């Protein structure tokens, strides 16, 4: 259920008005369930201030995982898939035993399902990148998602240094990874992978530029390499040419993912807002280490 707020009120006041026949204790329980989202962001604070134009939604699919106290928001969940809002600074998965999103989710899913479900990787976000990340709950769902992965649409926000020469553009190149695990654009060769990144300028932010990115391919570090190739590395991405004056969070955020459901084929669209502090470059706002 999505409802547009028409007047200023606290969240508890809004809920009381929306559900006049529900006891206050039940309204508070709804707040604590983790299913309420304001402008696509989970909110549990009863005194949260609402203003006209805000979008209120109850996302019941997120309830079970949200109640489990996971260290990141659950954006969508059903019996076949789970989609989370990945924080920057933690890997999608790992092979060296270090903590990862996949491990955290697997432990949760196994405990909730008596071992029937766990988190299967469908795609990845770099450790430094935040945003929408999809996992399958079964091997069969994973295979079905990967089989139709060409039908997915992925969008990102990127805050880059400088400004691209063209406001709208497409970057194409062949990518290859070197022994130090850094990716480069190269001339066409057998071991290289063809990659396509589309960008649209949203606005200038001081000496930087906020871009809307859509990828046609999903290569490792693709967006980071391509934006560096046009002379506009992502802010904080020192690996690919950004200023190293300060250590900053890499300003790349996967804000939207659309994919066909692995069982019924219905298109699922999941979005998450731009992270707090994403556009601010003051040192006090730098929380990523």
Q: How far apart are CA 96 and CA 99, in angstroms?
A: 9
Residue carrying structure tokens 């709950």: 137
- Residue of 96, 126, 216, 237 with catalytic role: 126
Bridge partners of residue 172, in order along the sequence: 196
What the block records as the tokens of 244 is: 């190293």
Q: How far apart are CA 181 and CA 177, in angstroms?
A: 6
- What is the DSSP code string of 214-255? EESS--TTHHHHHHHHTT-PBTT-GGGT---SS-----EEEE
**Other Cβ atoms within 10 Å of 170 Cβ, number:** 12
Dist CA 108 CA 102 (whole Å): 10
Q: Are 106 and 116 in contact (CB under 8 A)?
A: no
Strand intervals (E) in the chain: 2-4, 9-10, 36-38, 41-42, 49-50, 55-58, 74-77, 81-86, 120-121, 130-136, 153-161, 168-177, 183-186, 193-205, 208-215, 252-260, 267-271
Catalytic-residue membership of 126:
yes
Q: What count of other Cβ atoms lies within 10 Å of the Cβ of residue 76? A: 19
Tokens 């391919």 found at: 217
- Structure tokens belonging to residue 103: 């491990």
Which residues are identified as catalytic? 126
């Amino acid at each position: 259920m999505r409802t547009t707020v028409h007047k200023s009120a606290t969240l508890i006041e809004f809920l009381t008005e929306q559900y006049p026949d529900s006891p206050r204790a039940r309204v508070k329980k709804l707040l604590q369930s983790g299913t309420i989202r304001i402008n696509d962001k989970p909110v549990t604070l009863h005194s949260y201030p609402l203003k006209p134009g805000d979008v209120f939604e109850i996302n019941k699919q997120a309830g079970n995982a949200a109640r489990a106290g996971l260290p990141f928001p659950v954006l969508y969940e059903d019996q076949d898939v789970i989609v989370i809002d990945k924080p920057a600074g933690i890997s999608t998965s790992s092979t060296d035993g270090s903590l990862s999103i996949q491990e955290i989710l697997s432990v949760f899913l196994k405990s909730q399902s008596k071992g029937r479900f766990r988190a299967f990787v469908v795609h990845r976000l770099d450790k430094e990148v935040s945003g929408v990340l999809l996992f399958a709950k079964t091997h069969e769902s994973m295979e079905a998602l990967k089989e139709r992965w060409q039908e997915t649409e992925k969008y990102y926000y990127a805050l880059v240094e400088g400004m691209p020469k063209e406001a709208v553009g497409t970057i194409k190149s062949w990518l290859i990874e070197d022994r130090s695990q850094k990716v480069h654009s190269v001339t066409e060769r057998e071991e290289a992978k063809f990659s396509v990144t589309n960008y649209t300028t949203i606005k200038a932010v001081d000496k930087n530029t906020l871009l809307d990115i859509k990828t046609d391919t999903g290569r490792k570090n693709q967006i980071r390499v391509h934006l560096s190739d046009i002379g506009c590395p992502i802010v904080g991405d020192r690996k690919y040419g950004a200023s190293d004056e300060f250590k900053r969070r890499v300003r790349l955020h996967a804000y939207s993912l659309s994919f066909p459901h692995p069982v019924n084929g219905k298109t699922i669209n999941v979005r998450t807002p731009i992270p707090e502090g994403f556009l601010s470059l003051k040192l006090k706002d730098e929380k990523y280490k």
